[in-house]
Amino acid sequence: MYDILKTINSPADVKKLNKVELETLAADIREALFNRLTKIGGHFGPNFGIVEATIALHYVFESPKDKFVFDVSHQSYPHKMLTGRKNGYIKDECFKEDSGYTNPDESEHDLFNVGHTSTSVSLATGLAKARDLKGGTENVIALIGDGSLSGGEALEALDFAGSELNSNLIIIVNDNQQSIAEVHGGLYKNLTELRETKGAAANNFFKALGLDYIYEENGNDIQAMIKVFQKVKDINHPIVVHINTQKGKGYKLAEENREGWHWCMPFDKETGKWNVEFPAESYTSLTAEYIMNKAQKDKDFVVITPAMPMTAGLFEPMRKQLGSQYVDVGIAEEHAVALASGVAKAGGKPLVVTNATFIQRTYDQISQDVCINNNPVTILLNYTSFDGLTDVTHLGIFTIPAFANIPNLVVLVPTSKEEYLNMLDWSVEQREHPVMIIMPGNAVTSRASDKDFSTLNTFKTEQAGEKVAILALGDFYQRGQELAAEIEKELGFKPTLINPRFASGLDKKLLTNLAKNHQLVLTLEDGVMDGGFGQKIAAFYASSPMKVKNYGLHKEFYDRYDPQELLRQLGMMTEQIVADVKNLI
Amino acid sequence: MYDILKTINSPADVKKLNKVELETLAADIREALFNRLTKIGGHFGPNFGIVEATIALHYVFESPKDKFVFDVSHQSYPHKMLTGRKNGYIKDECFKEDSGYTNPDESEHDLFNVGHTSTSVSLATGLAKARDLKGGTENVIALIGDGSLSGGEALEALDFAGSELNSNLIIIVNDNQQSIAEVHGGLYKNLTELRETKGAAANNFFKALGLDYIYEENGNDIQAMIKVFQKVKDINHPIVVHINTQKGKGYKLAEENREGWHWCMPFDKETGKWNVEFPAESYTSLTAEYIMNKAQKDKDFVVITPAMPMTAGLFEPMRKQLGSQYVDVGIAEEHAVALASGVAKAGGKPLVVTNATFIQRTYDQISQDVCINNNPVTILLNYTSFDGLTDVTHLGIFTIPAFANIPNLVVLVPTSKEEYLNMLDWSVEQREHPVMIIMPGNAVTSRASDKDFSTLNTFKTEQAGEKVAILALGDFYQRGQELAAEIEKELGFKPTLINPRFASGLDKKLLTNLAKNHQLVLTLEDGVMDGGFGQKIAAFYASSPMKVKNYGLHKEFYDRYDPQELLRQLGMMTEQIVADVKNLI
């Protein structure tokens, strides 16, 4: 097993192989992918589809002198195996050594930590620009999937490369006819036309931008890939190499269901069944249910997503059923948000759904297109919690500092199923405010909730007490409950427990009243404290005798951490906080 | 004077005019533009170039039923004159009634408050989508200049419109062959090709995205414009109407110098001389001087700007002299920042320059492409101060809350000429950190400064005192000096005055030491307090006896305010703060 792969310690070893051995290497890489992915999951389709092209890249070019930039880098597993990191795939005990993305800390063959889409061409032009300033001669190669092309950052960079960079840059467009979900946008019609004409169509998006262009049909044929890369190696201007590959190549189930196998949990290779139990009810399934019901009842309601339907539990049949009330703009977050602003302005009821980490692309659109105009757009974010996605490129913990400081934006942080659904429905229906809702990351819990949130910044006292008040935001409300119980047990008095509900403003009346019979306010937030909720509370009381202590995450790019261990390090376990309270009162 | 314009109270009045009267109306509009612009300044070239097209729009379409979205909306003055707001141009006492951008508070003919580029197509698709959900039949028209096309948000929206919207949308591409500075990018080569072939070139960027396309050469001919708009009115699918216009049409100086007359200060119509005295030395001129010297000495140094060279004082001859060490990416902020990250990774020394308000486009690129990778990119921002740009769409006051909470980013806030230049040079030279530098907005002042900032978050005590410590950030340092003097005079003790220099972290040692002989800390920041610097100080002392009071702006979209009056309303005048201090100690 892995006979050839075992011999590969660096790209130099790839260059020594003959044609048959190269084919065996491809088979070995797929076996190694199965080994890792069946056991710990990860990106499936992108890696299985790019095996041959990656082998050819390392066969033809001279990494690390020549520089590869992988878009999203979720297709970099074969590259990692060929650059000294095969153990992360063939030895189970080494899985943790490799992240799921390129990572300069792992290898000099990785240039950037990348996890968001559409950045590769832009980053590569920067490498090329510095090379030109320094008089270097290396090749710079960006590998970008068709799904990533629709992102503004990629489009801006292609436009730039088409006229402003008059030196070597090789842009490999890996066309597997699939984004995360199905592809959307006029560009994809053009890619289809180009595939159907084997690159000969007069209508050519890349050429229209001034880029040289070449097409290769057999993207899963090592020799064909070697040939095309040899042709463009050391080219003296930017060129697009459009290659046709099969997403999920080598696993029938993945070839047939490209969306379902973009990414996978640990699974059984024979059956394809994921080894994971999904709860019958989750905030995601509740979201999908809400959306389907709402859409049927209200023709003005429209769901907009930048290629992230599954983050709201919208399986394909649901998307079909939603029809014109469902808009997948492709990977184009900026457009998704501005589109929603237009819809809201004209009387529609738009709900934008995506992952928290990707909404960062739209800071300016949320501020300018939505909030200055005060258009009633609802933005629903999944995976904001510290225990959601733990890769450094996918953290949601910056959401509140990044967005809750934008004027006019109402940021709602629900703490139960009832509260979540009531906030969602209130937000979609009201016409006064742009709203961002943080989808809970916890298991579903039930607790009665208000239905109207139109009096902004009204915190809810869930338990009235004395001496100590706990303001526990969103997913950390349950920790607040536990803390309140423990304080009562340990310290012999009942503290006040408050569900702030709004992360974007203060309930000044409630806070002022607290001063009457409280001496300490604790804030618990599921995110970074800098610029966050707790610091606003601290500032409110800063010139008064009230003591405040903030609990939350530090301003740091955490990476692949153990969430519970992190809380302990941060002194946020209940017993640690109780100890603090003893010292402070 | 204004014989025809005076008769226009709404678009209905435009429709009554005959050919000759329409021509007179165009002349009247230009006279009215001169009246306002010579006296109070504003966007010149875009408005003079779009007069005929605007008249034709209102002649053919039925605003407000049909909906216009103006990109940037800096070309909307003629539209305003035709929609009941002519007094803002012909009556000097009414100038203040109209903002320089579209504004729904002014008129139902304005759909959005817009001031950033590249948003119109996206917003318009939203209007069209809602129309389709509601079964409406109105036309939706986006008017976008060629300079704005290169922005990611516009490109994403064009891609979307090219396949996902199968209903009426008219995208007028106003091609005046000019961005703010010269145009950049492959797209512009294609626009040139299209102009030269009168729209017939096989290579067609818009068609490649699946869009229908029509070209009209005579964009400054009212009848030609009427004809082309009549042709596309009520069309059942998206179409690009590419029109060729002359920026600055009707004023020889502006026709000849399109960059210089994109925007103007009050000026003398005869000579074109601006009625404004520029100081011999400004932070902008110091920046340009630094850049020119540095570039000559260091071939790894490169200035990157998204179409904002003048924000760093880089006049055209300087840009020419910089050669390959100057990169204008066009209006493409995301690409500018990611490009810089690539340059830095490969050993170059990139300096990105733009206005604070536009860097908002790049929150995600700064976080992901730059800061996670810790690449030594320097981002230099002009107009962050509350008294810089006061239009609601151009405020810089959100810069610190938005960016100083991103991990790894060092945000430097200089307070004097020496400090500014030392920070700039330190940042460009060091290889450890991504850095954002806030260019001072004050008049140039001189004060000795450290040269090394590599020990991060070291605040500087400029005056050691007692009881009260003033932390005065950036442009507000001078207010801090004044306040310190006034406290000494009024209250009889010398307070401590601190120049924090870093807005992105705390000097915990210094802050801890302050507790020894101070009871009150005042923070002064030139920006919004929510998520900003002062709240971090408040949080630091929150569970200690130290009192803290934050001064700064509220989380609010201020619009066209009087800066000094705003400070007074916020209680930030020196005498107001002294009164607070009396109460607090």
Model confidence over A52-72: pLDDT tens digits?
Answer: 999 999 999 999 999 999 999
pLDDT digits (tens, 9 = 90+) for A228-239: 999 999 999 999
Contacting residues of B for A128, CB less than 8 Å apart: 342
Sheet containing B238-244: give its strands across: B67-70, B140-145, B169-175, B238-244, B212-216
Give B325's contacts (C-beta < 8 A, 6+ positions apart): A133, B295, B299, B301, B302, B303
Interface test with B, best of A190, A333, A364 (most B CBs within 10 A): A364
Give B369's contacts (C-beta < 8 A, 6+ positions apart): A112, A119, A122, A123, B337, B338, B341, B375
> Does position A180 have pLDDT exceeding 70, yes or no?
no
Same topology, domains A283-438 and A460-584? Answer is yes
Whether B205 sits inside 8 A of A204 (CB atoms) is no
Any bridge partners for residue A174, and if so which?
A145, A243
Closest CA of chain A from B128, distance in Å: 8
Q: Helix or strand or coil: residue B194?
A: helix
What gap in Å lies between CA B139 and CA B169, rounded to an integer?
A: 7
Residue A34's pLDDT band (cuts 50, 70, 90): very high
Interface test with B, best of A114, A194, A360, A368 (most B CBs within 10 A): A368
pLDDT digits (tens, 9 = 90+) for B297-345: 999 999 999 999 999 999 999 999 999 999 999 999 999 999 999 999 9
Closest CA to A328 of A184, A452, A127, A131: A184
Contacting residues of A for B203, CB less than 8 Å apart: 202, 204, 207-208
Could you confirm whether domain A5-264 is CATH 3.40.50.300? no
Q: What is the mean pLDDT of chain B?
A: 97
CA angle A155–B394–B307, rounded 5-degree value? 40
Residue A341's pLDDT band (cuts 50, 70, 90): very high
Read off the pTM.
Answer: 0.97
Please spell the DSSP secondary structure of A562-575, one letter per residue: -HHHHHHHTT-SHH
Burial (CB count <10 Å: 0-12, 13-18, 19+), residue B573: middle
User: Searching chain A, which residue's CA lies closest to the CA of residue B203?
Assistant: A208
Give A583's contacts (C-beta < 8 A, 6+ positions apart): none
Interface test with B, best of A113, A155, A156 (most B CBs within 10 A): A156
Query: Strand A263-264 to strand B496-499: parallel, antiparallel, or no bridges (unpaired)?
Result: unpaired
Closest CA of chain A from B491, distance in Å: 19
Residue ranges of alpha helices (H) inside B233-315 are: 252-256, 283-297
Whether B209 sits inside 8 A of A187 (CB atoms) is yes
Whether A126 sits inside 8 A of B344 (CB atoms) is yes
Q: What is the mean pLDDT of chain A?
A: 97
The predicted model gives B440-459 an average pLDDT of 97
> Does position A520 have pLDDT exceeding 90, yes or no?
yes
Closest CA to A101 of A116, A91, A86: A116
Whether B134 sits inside 8 A of A209 (CB atoms) is no
Is the Cβ of A406 closer than 8 Å to some Cβ of chain B?
A: yes
The predicted model gives A242-252 an average pLDDT of 96
Per-residue pLDDT at B179: 66
Q: How many CB pairs under 8 A join A and B?
A: 419
- The CATH H-level (homologous superfamily) assignment of domain B283-438 is Thiamin diphosphate (ThDP)-binding fold, Pyr/PP domains (3.40.50.970)
What gap in Å lies between CA A464 and CA A450, rounded to an integer?
A: 17
> Does position A181 have pLDDT exceeding 80, yes or no?
no
The predicted model gives B31-59 an average pLDDT of 97
Is the Cβ of A557 closer than 8 Å to some Cβ of chain B?
A: yes
Q: Please state which architecture CATH assigns to domain B5-262.
A: 3-Layer(aba) Sandwich (3.40)
* A405 → closest Cβ in B131, B184, B401: B401
Per-residue pLDDT at B295: 98
Closest CA of chain A from B373, distance in Å: 6
Q: Do the Cβ atoms of A171 and A237 come closer than 8 Å? A: no
Contacting residues of B for A122, CB less than 8 Å apart: 334-335, 338-339, 342, 365, 369
Contacting residues of B for A190, CB less than 8 Å apart: 208-210
| The two three-digit tokens of residue A298, written as one number | 């209200």
Whether A122 sits inside 8 A of B335 (CB atoms) is yes
> Does position A27 have pLDDT exceeding 80, yes or no?
yes
Closest CA to A71 of A182, A3, A150, A185: A150
Contacting residues of B for A342, CB less than 8 Å apart: 69, 122-130
Which stretches of A73-162 are assigned E, i.e. beta strand? 140-145
> Does position A183 have pLDDT exceeding 80, yes or no?
no
Instruction: Mark which residues 324-343 of A lie under 8 Å from B by CB.
Output: 324-325, 327, 329-330, 332, 334-335, 338-343
Is the Cβ of B347 closer than 8 Å to some Cβ of chain A?
A: yes
What gap in Å lies between CA A254 and CA B391, rounded to an integer?
A: 53
Contacting residues of B for A127, CB less than 8 Å apart: 342-343, 345-346
Contacting residues of A for B296, CB less than 8 Å apart: none
Is the Cβ of A122 closer than 8 Å to some Cβ of chain B?
A: yes
> Does position B422 have pLDDT exceeding 90, yes or no?
yes
| Phi, psi dihedral angles at B496 (to 5 degrees) | -85, 140
Whether B208 sits inside 8 A of A204 (CB atoms) is yes
| Phi, psi dihedral angles at A46 (to 5 degrees) | -60, -35
> Does position B177 have pLDDT exceeding 90, yes or no?
no
Residue A185's pLDDT band (cuts 50, 70, 90): confident
Residue B180's pLDDT band (cuts 50, 70, 90): low
* A392 → closest Cβ in B119, B372, B550: B372
Whether A530 sits inside 8 A of B536 (CB atoms) is yes
pLDDT digits (tens, 9 = 90+) for A393-415: 999 999 999 999 999 999 999 99
> Does position A581 have pLDDT exceeding 80, yes or no?
yes
Q: Counting every residue, how long is chain B?
A: 585
Give percent of chain B with pLDDT exceeding 90.
Answer: 97
| The two three-digit tokens of residue A362, written as one number | 């739209």
Per-residue pLDDT at B184: 83
From residue A284, how far is each of A251, A315, A410 by CA, in Å?
Answer: 28, 11, 21
CA dihedral sign, ordered B477, B482, B487, B488: positive
Per-residue pLDDT at A363: 98
Query: Strand A378-382 to strand A435-438: parallel, antiparallel, or no bridges (unpaired)?
Result: parallel
> Does position A352 have pLDDT exceeding 70, yes or no?
yes
| The two three-digit tokens of residue A118, written as one number | 């559409």
User: Searching chain B, which residue's CA lies closest to the CA of residue A342?
Assistant: B126
Whether A130 sits inside 8 A of B345 (CB atoms) is yes
pLDDT digits (tens, 9 = 90+) for A457-505: 999 999 999 999 999 999 999 999 999 999 999 999 999 999 999 999 9
The predicted model gives B211-229 an average pLDDT of 98
Is the Cβ of B64 closer than 8 Å to some Cβ of chain A?
A: no
- Centre a 10 Å sphere on the Cβ of residue B108 and count the other Cβ atoms it contains: 10
> Does position B472 have pLDDT exceeding 70, yes or no?
yes
In chain A, what are the domain boundaries? 5-264, 283-438, 460-584
Instruction: Mark which residues 483-522 of A lie under 8 Å from B by CB.
Output: 520
CATH of A460-584, one of 3.30.499.10, 3.40.50.920, 2.60.40.10, 3.40.50.150: 3.40.50.920
Is the Cβ of A159 closer than 8 Å to some Cβ of chain B?
A: yes
Give percent of chain B with pLDDT exceeding 70.
Answer: 99
